[in-house]
Amino acid sequence: MSKFWAYLKTKQFRITLVLAVCSVFVVVLVVFFSLGFYTRHGSGIPVPQLKGLQVEKAISLLNDQGFEYKIDSVYVNDHPPGTVVEQDPDAGTSVKENRTIYLTVVTRVAPPVSMPDLEPLTYREAVATLANYGLKVGDTTYKSDIARDRILAMRFGGQDIKAGTKIPKGSRIDLVLGNGEGASEVDIPNLINQDLDAAKFVIKQGGLTLGVITYQGPITDSTSLVVVAQSPMKTDSLSKASNGTRINLTVSQGKKSDVPNQ
């Protein structure tokens, strides 16, 4: 043990200790600078401002600065198609070369939506319903009808459009409204023996409203239905009804007969 303590006091031990400390210090420095070089610590390329640009311009900037990119699409009603609306990372963030930049771009093709049924609604209700479907109100015209501001027809591109028809989101729908000045009474049509679609058309054009449809007997083909009863029905003592009166129909499987209605 005395020899060990004597060795610690020798010059050789002191030299060995200094060399060991220096070696550890050198190793730490090498590791530190190697990691800094490997990871390019403290260096990077700032991400350019891409939001608001057209996607082609944004891609050109990314390519020029050596970035990769991935694109997702979204439909935004009040932005031009092809516009970058989101980017990740944000503009000004320092990142490494070849970093992938994620872009969200307004799609050039509006997704389709189903046309809602507006005819039972008032104008105010129709505006709210169209907004919920991502549609807009176009021109409004008025037609003689006792019900003021009630939707009588819907038009798209100058043509009547039915509920359920697929149209591009963001489209403008023209509305035909009642002016509240229609006749108080209209003729009751005779719908017996008429095809259901034809009966619906006559009811609508006559200023009346389609009521309950009752199906009689087995129905195997919904496109071949004929009216067998209606309420109210035109009689010698009852030939007119108030504008907007509901006409209830009973239909059965079959086709319109060539025998004229009596």
| pLDDT tens digits in sequence order for the chain, 262 residues long | 566 566 556 767 667 767 777 777 777 666 666 655 544 444 578 899 999 999 999 999 999 888 999 999 888 777 888 999 999 999 988 888 788 999 999 987 888 999 999 987 899 999 999 999 989 999 999 887 777 788 989 999 889 999 999 998 888 999 999 877 666 678 899 999 999 999 999 998 887 889 999 999 998 888 899 999 999 998 878 888 887 788 999 999 987 664 444 4
Ramachandran quadrant class, 254 (left: phi over 0; alpha: psi -120 to 50; beta: rest): left
> What is d(CA 96, CA 40) in angstroms, rounded to the nearest whole number?
8
Alpha helices in the chain (DSSP H): 2-8, 11-39, 55-64, 123-132, 196-205
The CA–CA distances, whole Å, from 24 to 19, 21, 162 equal: 9, 5, 83
* Prediction pTM value: 0.46
CA 54, 56, 61, 65 torsion: positive or negative? positive
Backbone angles phi, psi at 130, to 5 degrees: -60, -40
Kindly report the CA angle at 69 between 63 and 75, in degrees rounded to 5? 120
Question: By C-alpha distance, which of 148, 123, 121, 150 is closest to 138?
Answer: 123
> What is d(CA 262, CA 259) in angstroms, rounded to the nearest whole number?
9
> What's the start-to-end Cα distance of the chain, in Å?
134
